[in-house]
Amino acid sequence: MAYVYLALAIIFELIGTSLLKASEGFSKLVPTLGVVIVFTLSFFSLSLSLKTIPLNVAYALWSGLGTVATVIISILIWKEKINAGSIIGIGLIIIGVAVLNLFGPGHSDSAQVDIPVQENNLSN
């Protein structure tokens, strides 16, 4: 179910980003209200997915897939242009998301790294 919430978070984020463009700097009321509503739904859905999915994996998927899909939407709906650098960057995002999902937390105990926490002693 966590991945369903994550998928919903990505879909809402894509709708919100398109509405953000349509709001023309928050100068149009209806798209602006839509931005607030769907981004709220996106973050709520993302928070539900984080009950099960590790933060770094969920955020990589949410932001990475959202970025790639937003580029596709910007080309198809908003008729924006991209260049070779954009295509290379999108490819690197996809590779990064794949690496996190294949080798990130939960895939092996040896992959976990303990980070020591230093305590501050404020009393002298």
**Structure confidence by residue, pLDDT tens digits, 87-123:** 998 899 889 888 887 887 666 554 455 566 666 666 5
- Give percent above pLDDT 90 in the chain: 61
Instruction: Give the model's pLDDT for residue 116.
Output: 63
Distance CA 41, CA 36 (A): 9
Distance CA 106, CA 83 (A): 36
**Residue scoring higher pLDDT (19 or 108):** 19
Distance CA 87, CA 91 (A): 6
Average pLDDT over the chain, rounded to whole? 87
Enter the pTM of the model.
Answer: 0.76
Domain ranges in the chain? Answer: 2-104
Distance CA 26, CA 68 (A): 24
Instruction: Give the model's pLDDT for residue 111.
Output: 47
